Chain A
Amino acid sequence: MLEIRGLRHDYDGRTVLSVPSWDVARGDSSLVLGPSGSGKTTLLHVIAGLATPTAGTVRVAGEEITRLSPAARDAFRARRVGLVLQTLHLIGVVSVRENLRLAQRLAGAKVDDARIDEVLAGLAIPALSGAHARDISVGEAQRVAIARAVVNRPALILADEPTSALDDGNCEKALALLLEQAAACGATLLVATHDNRVRGRFARRLEL
């Protein structure tokens, strides 16, 4: 599912990330652990094809994304990778449903409202569909962000510090939702965090 070989990323002449070899099998959810500044976010960005590493190869779902052109990487990410960011950013000027449609359209897919309803129902937030994204609470926005990450049935879901802003109860809920949704669409989940509360939920981990 994920195959990393000889990965190195330099920034300002300094190596900020080095992963000699790492494999994650399909459906094998995993943690990326490490203190702040250890390169967790950079690793996720490289895997997502948002950043080009200095050296090494990354294969995602059989595609060697480090060899793809920037445009092809954008297209690949849109179709196969779901991202949940730390700050759960939604496009505030449109509705929740429109945020999910946006993810579908940008992936080159047709708008599928049935799928959107299904995902929102799975996350227990069907009533939010018409709400303006800027008007909803942080907890709701988190669920919408997860919904957006899974709406295109990606092969890989990347979550960057999804729990750092949450209290213990919500942290637990968010993780459960992420794992549940990843399993529901058969995706591999990768969570990058320095949050020790998360450790117990994952059998596999990469320490940076």
Chain B
Amino acid sequence: MTIPRLALAYLASRPLLTALNTAMLALGVATIAFLLLVTGQAEDRLTRDAKAVDLVVGAKGSPLQLILSTVFHADVPTGNIGLEESRPVATNPMVASATPLALGDSFRGHRIVGTDASFLDLYDAKLAQGAMFAGEMEAVVGSEVARRHGIAPGAQLTGAHGLAASGPAHGEHPYKVVGVLAPTGAVVDRLVLTPVESVWHVHEEHAPGRKEITALLIRYRTPLAAAMLPRAINSGTAMQAASPAYEAARLLELVGAGVQTLQWFAVVLMASAALSLFVALSSALQERRYDLALLRTLGASPASLAALTLAEGVTLLVAGAILGLALGHGAVHALGLWLSASGSWPLTGLAWAQGEAILAAAVLGIGALTCLVPALQAYASDPASLLAKR
């Protein structure tokens, strides 16, 4: 009881330095926690969404863009392909299912996806209320869309042209909501689904005649398809085939380089925090060497002087780590709330990321090692020689 109380008194006697050291530690921990949370959740989301589809067949262009637009619903499509043109792929014996996708409109930032009932099977999505769409201009909305905009079966919604929330409205073609999906944790939560025919209907005046879709989402019947189908499509047709798993990995690799840079930055921040802690403890030790000698004359053991120094450092470390984690989670949560308004990435600060336990352990471990040198100095100090000098 004596030692912790004294350690706190010493910390409180230098509020500015204590606050500075805690803040430096907290910022380092917060940065790393933030990165761990964001990358962890993004990776989770990307791999889960990518797993739903084996191959995407769409218009030629950037394969990453094709995947981003049709699987993650985050970019504009590469273009359209003809329905007739895509039919041979859909009926290929190596293909288990081929789900058509017609993009182009959105509802308050949520994409309106023209598709068919097989889209639900890709994500194991179930209806929570109402029924599946049966006819043109009927729509089924994802759980997030329903929750955020208070939509229930029977409601009407109007699409806007383009994928931005502010595109020109298609006011003359309202959709009738017939069902709401149960939450899946996948991208489908944030989509509005409707038959492909609705999209054709809405855009009839722009592109009459030819029936087009944006892409086909393919699931393989056999692993062999992965080796044969993409090559056949890419070289034998005017269409492009791209693998979500591969493009997601490539995307993570691209993002990973940036994340790694930030992580090193945070490590440098924490290293300087550790250094500052070391300097603070060492100079404090110098300042209060007579205090320590005095404590020895009062009967304190060398070990309890070391414990006093250690307690001071560890208190700072624990405070910095807790504050840092709180800050990191708070920032992720705030970012999540801000992003959720625009309907894109769902992020939450209310979950733990893989590696956070290691982070906390590393901070405490390395910090304690940093405090050990001043603590040993306190242990080794000789009260008699110090007091004799005065």
Q: Do A and B bind each other?
A: yes
Measured CB to CB, the residues of A under 8 A from B are 41-42, 45, 48, 50-51, 71, 74-75, 77-79, 83, 85-87, 89-94, 98, 102-103, 105-108, 148, 160
Known: A77-B297, A89-B290, A93-B10. A51 touches B384 (CB 8 A): yes
A105 and B2 in contact (CB under 8 A), knowing A74-B299, A83-B297, A89-B291? yes
Flag if A75 contacts B299 (CB, 8 Å): yes
6 sampled A-B residue pairs with Cβ under 8 A: A42-B384, A74-B301, A77-B297, A85-B297, A91-B6, A106-B300
A107 touching B299, Cβ below 8 Å: yes
Closest chain-B Cβ to A69's Cβ sits at a distance in Å of 11
The 8 Å CB contact of A48, one of B9, B10, B13, B297, is B297
Query: For residues 270 through 309 of chain B, which have their beta carbon under 8 Å from a beta carbon of chain A?
Result: 290-291, 293-301
- A102–B9 Cα distance when bound, in Å, is 13
Establish whether residues B387 and A85, one from each chain, have CB atoms under 8 Å apart when the complex forms: yes
Cβ B294 vs Cβ A85 within 8 A: yes
Given A41-B388, A93-B12, also A74-B2 (CB < 8 A): no
Interface pair A94/B9, CB less than 8 Å apart: yes
Residues of B within 8 A of A71 (CB): 301
- Complex alpha-carbon distance, A91 and B295, angstroms: 9
Contacting pair A91 B294 (CB below 8 A): yes
B384 touches A50 (CB 8 A): yes
- Say whether B1 faces chain A, with CB atoms less than 8 Å apart: yes
> A92 contacts which chain B residues (CB < 8 A)?
13, 291
Q: Is the beta-carbon distance between A45 and B299 smaller than 8 angstroms?
A: no
Q: Compute how far the CA of A93 lies from the CA of B18 in the bound complex, rounded to whole angstroms.
A: 14
- By a beta-carbon cutoff of 8 Å, the part of chain B in contact with chain A is 1-2, 6, 9-10, 12-13, 290-291, 293-301, 383-384, 387-388, 390
Q: Main SS of the interface on chain B?
A: helix
Contact in complex: A50, B296 (CB < 8 Å)? yes
Report yes or no: A89 in contact with B294, Cβ–Cβ below 8 A: yes
Query: Contact between B9 and A106 (Cβ–Cβ < 8 Å)?
Result: no
Query: How distant is the Cα of A93 from the Cα of B387 in the complex, in angstroms?
Result: 20
Please determine whether A78 and B299 come into contact, CB atoms closer than 8 angstroms: yes
With a cutoff of 8 Å between Cβ atoms, the chain B residues found around residue A107 in the complex are: 298-299
The answer on a CB contact under 8 Å between B387 and A105 is no
Q: Report if A45-B388 is in contact (Cβ < 8 Å); known contacts: A93-B13, A94-B9, A105-B2.
A: yes
Least Cβ–Cβ distance between A56 and chain B, in angstroms: 16
Report the separation of the CA atoms of residues A74 and B387 in the bound assembly, to the nearest whole angstrom.
16
Assuming A50-B383, A94-B6, A102-B6, is B298 touching A86 (CB within 8 A)?
no
Bound-state CA distance A115–B149 (Å) is: 71
User: A50 contacts B299, CB within 8 Å?
Assistant: no
Chain B residues whose C-beta falls within 8 Å of the C-beta of A48 in the assembled complex: 297
Q: How far is the CA of A86 from the CA of B299 in the complex (A)?
A: 18
Residues in B with CB closer than 8 Å to A160 are 387
Task: Please name the residue on chain A nearest to B297 by beta carbon.
Answer: A83
In the complex, chain A residues whose CB is within 8 Å of the CB of B6:
91, 93-94, 102
